[in-house]
Amino acid sequence: MSAAIPVRRPIPSQPESRVNQTSPAQNTLPDQQQERSIHEQIAQLAYVLWERRGKFHGSPEQDWFEAEKQVLATAKH
């Protein structure tokens, strides 16, 4: 006869306050969207820089840092 494995259930915590809760749609703030957009721009430019280098293995950080420098320089203006 096999023994049943007990199921662990989480211990209920204190009820969360309903004050200042936002829906998931409200959690994406403009700053987060802008940050995501900048990250995507850096990633795309880093890829282009890697392609221009001939797609050689090496230091992806080099391409990333150069792309970051260029994107952030244009974002400030």
For 7-25, the pLDDT digits (tens) are 565 555 545 444 444 445 5
Report d(CA 67, CA 42) in Å as an integer. Answer: 5
Neighbours of 28 (CB within 10 A): 11
Report d(CA 73, CA 67) in Å as an integer. Answer: 10
Overall average pLDDT of the 46-66 stretch:
91
**Would you list the domain boundaries of the chain?**
46-77
Handedness of CA 45, 51, 53, 55 (dihedral sign): positive
Please name the amino acid found at residue 5.
I
For 21-37, the pLDDT digits (tens) are 444 555 556 788 888 89
